[in-house]
A and B are shown apart, each in its own frame.
Chain A
Amino acid sequence: MIAALGLVLGIVAGLFLEPTVPTWVQPYLPIAVVAALDAVFGGVRALLDGIFDDRVFVVSFVSNVTVAALIVYLGDQLGVGTQLSTGVVVVLGIRIFANSAAIRRQLFKA
């Protein structure tokens, strides 16, 4: 209950306060979103599997977002930012698909 409240509060704050994102962070926002989605789908799957753990979820979310952004940042510094972000998106995309497939199997038994 409190957790759901936190999610809603976060969305509302993001939409209505419109926090200004520093210019140097802006290129990494999309990749951070993909990483966050991966963590969320992993969390939902774990929930359905009955092995959800708050701490693991939060740590995986934070590290996912940070590492994904860091990889792309490093790539930008090395001049291979586009290729590395493609790699990150491919890896995270496959994981999101696999997790959503597992969620689907759990929910619909199909």
Chain B
Amino acid sequence: MARMPTPAPHRTDEPPSRADSMLLLRDLVEGSLDDGYARAAARREAGEPAGRGSVWVLAVGLLAVGLLLATAFAQTRDRAGSVAQARDALVAEVQQRADDNEAAQRRLDRQRASVQRAQRQALTLTGEGARLAARLDELEAATGAVAVNGPGMVVRLDDASDSGGLADGADVDPRTKTADQGRVTDRDLQTVVNEIWAAGAEAVAVNGQRLTALSAIRSAGEAVLVDFRPLAPPYVVEALGDPDRLRATFVGGFGGSYLQVLKGYGITSTVADDGSLDLAASVGVALRYAVPPAVPGAAGGSDQSKDGSVSRGKN
């Protein structure tokens, strides 16, 4: 503890009434110069000779100072660089994985299409097959396994203009009610979609996400998720069906009054007919099999459960 501040001699005659904490600060400020310098000066004045080679001592000391400062500088610079590098690498990897994902999705689409073609070809061979093909067409359209197109209705919902945008979000506390009330929630979309199904829609998609019997409309934070994919407003619900009947039933029923209620919160909505809508196939359609529970000790049972886990893994 060579550099602990010691009281300077000239302050000993000061009144002792000063608070201790102030004394500490005064010690720090006034004793900031090392006593050693004053003592060395006193020694020199007393005639003691300066140590030999002291220039070299200083040179080595300054070398150490320079080395320490430069090393710390290089260290900090390197660390900043490596953080940025790690971040860039992660970003590149995310990009890479997303691209891979997209490519795999495209390959899946192509192979699905070729399977479908082969299926049709095989089914047209017999009369029974033709009937099955027709039934398959119907079921596939209903389950969302294939893309469909035709006339229908488009319902468009958007957040209230004073609450939704990211730019406004900065000065509106997202936790307060006023900001939330003008936002389209998962419950709103659920209600609208359910009413559209009830009005007789044959196929429904939200922002391009085809809905199936197993689709979920949920929320995570402020985002609405459809089949676990986040959507951004405005929400466009496309429904295939007889346009006149569909729209009349929807607007005249609970759906229309629900939209009116939403309007009270500033949520804008439009309902329009569309002569030709294209709805993509659902990406989440996969066959699921019921599997009997594994029988302990039986080889067959464990095989079956293995099959089951594989088929579940494809979902």
Contact = CB atoms under 8 A, between A and B. Distances in A.
Interface of B is mostly: helix
Given A9-B66, A99-B32, A58 B57 contact: yes
Nearest to A58: B61
Given A54-B57, A61-B64, A63-B3, A36 B32 contact: no
A40 B54 contact: no
Interface string B3-36: 1000000000000000000000100111011101
Contacts of B78: 18
Interface in B65-86: 65-75, 78
* Contact-residue size bin, chain B (C-beta under 8 Å from the other chain): 35 or more
Contact of A54 (B3, B55, B75): B55
A42 B70 contact: no
A64 interface: yes
Interface stretch (B37-45, B140-148, B168-176, B213-221): B37-45
Contact of A21 (B41, B63, B71): B71
B56 interface: yes
B33 A58 contact: no
A54 B65 contact: no
Interface string A1-44: 01111111111111100110100001001101100101110100
A19 B63 CA distance: 14
B28 A54 contact: no
B40 A3 contact: no
A18 B74 contact: yes
B33 A102 contact: yes
A17 to B, nearest CB: 9
Given A8-B66, A55-B54, 17 more contacts: A3-B59, A7-B63, A10-B65, A12-B70, A13-B70, A14-B67, A14-B70, A15-B74, A21-B71, A36-B65, A46-B33, A51-B41, A58-B60, A61-B61, A62-B61, A65-B68, A102-B32
15 contacts: A6-B66, A7-B65, A11-B67, A13-B66, A14-B66, A15-B74, A18-B78, A39-B65, A46-B34, A46-B37, A54-B55, A54-B58, A58-B58, A63-B2, A95-B32
